[in-house]
Amino acid sequence: MEASDMKLREPVAQAFGKERAVLYEAEIEQLAESKYSKRDLVDFLETYAAPTGVFYALSMIRRSKLGVKDLKEALDFLFNPTPAIVKTLHPILPPDCRILDFGCGRGQITCALALRGFQTCGVDISQDVLKIARKLACKLGCQATFSPVRNNKVPFPDEYFDVILSFWVFHEVQKNRLLQVAAELHRTVRRDGHAFIIDQEGVARFKTIKDSMKQHGFEFQSEKPLSAVYDHGKASRALMLTFMKK
């Protein structure tokens, strides 16, 4: 980016880390390649991002009723969940394992795991976010790959992955599609491989998720709280469900 475009990069990096700042750059570039002027985008953000954020933060304090310390933790996780997720998963993942990031979005978690030596593949239904994810991987110099999900099918062969990760996805999956998603995850992960599903307590239907995964050959192993979180207008916790393919 040009020097004049870097004013917001440093505050983003200080608040949420280098990878999040690089994602900011990738998003600006993607918007500029569609219908926006990069200069107009940067000027708009420099003018409105900080004051808009002030009113948004005050609204969250009123609605969530969280203390400032807890709200900071919740926002750190909401805007940059990667450190907490990597810290939790890194010690328990097999070395050099092949990971599917199901519903990878803009690819920050996929890239973070790739930078730590794992073979990572991200999939998503949105072509737009996959374009940003590929830009992010290029800017970070990592080997993560990204592919679209078409007709509810993951474009990989049976038992291709050692581990499946799905972050903030299952609350978006309609109840009548959960069984289909569980079946596709079961198909693509190896026997004795693990699936980690991270979502928001009180928003995601965890009992339905557990039942759907069980019906398709997954054994539920544990439920672990990761962080306080404020999202979807709710103050609650981010939980990680761990399953193993039987």
Same domain, 95 and 57: no
Burial of 150 (0-12, 13-18, 19+ CB in 10 A): exposed
What ranges in the chain are assigned the alpha helix state H? 9-16, 18-33, 38-64, 68-79, 82-89, 108-115, 127-140, 178-188, 206-215
Whether residue 206 sits in one domain with residue 130? yes
Measured in degrees and rounded to the nearest 5, phi and psi for residue 231 equal: -155, 155
Lowest mean pLDDT among 52-66, 90-104, 183-197: 52-66
Mean pLDDT of the chain: 93
Same domain, 58 and 165: no
Domain end point (choices 71, 88, 112) = 71
Lowest mean pLDDT among 41-50, 98-107, 137-146, 207-216: 41-50
Shared-domain flag, residues 135 and 49: no
Give per-residue pLDDT as tens, 123-178. Answer: 999 999 999 999 999 999 999 999 999 988 999 999 999 999 999 999 999 988 99
Residue 63 shares a structural domain with residue 104: no
Give yes or no: residues 147 and 235 share one domain: yes
* DSSP-derived secondary structure for 116-169: TT-EEEEEES-HHHHHHHHHHHHHHT---EEEE-BTTB-SS-TT-EEEEEEES-
> Are residue 51 and residue 169 in the same domain, yes or no?
no
Distance of CA 245 to the CA centre of its chain: 22
Instruction: State the DSSP string of 198-209.
Output: EEETTTS-HHHH
Same domain? For 41 and 108 the reply is no
What is the DSSP secondary structure assignment for residue 104, as one 8-state letter? -
Q: What is the CATH number of the domain that holds 82?
A: 3.40.50.150
- Based on the fold, state whether residues 98 and 47 are members of the same structural domain: no
Which structural domain range is residue 8 located in?
3-71
| Same-domain pairing of 189 and 222 | yes
- Asked if the model's pLDDT at residue 1 lies above 60, the reply is no
| Burial annotation 167-180 (CB, 10 A radius, 16+ → b, else e) | bbbbeebeeeebee
| Number of domains within the chain | 2
Q: pTM of the predicted model, to two decimals?
A: 0.92
pLDDT for 85-115, tens place per residue?
Answer: 999 999 999 989 999 999 999 999 999 999 9
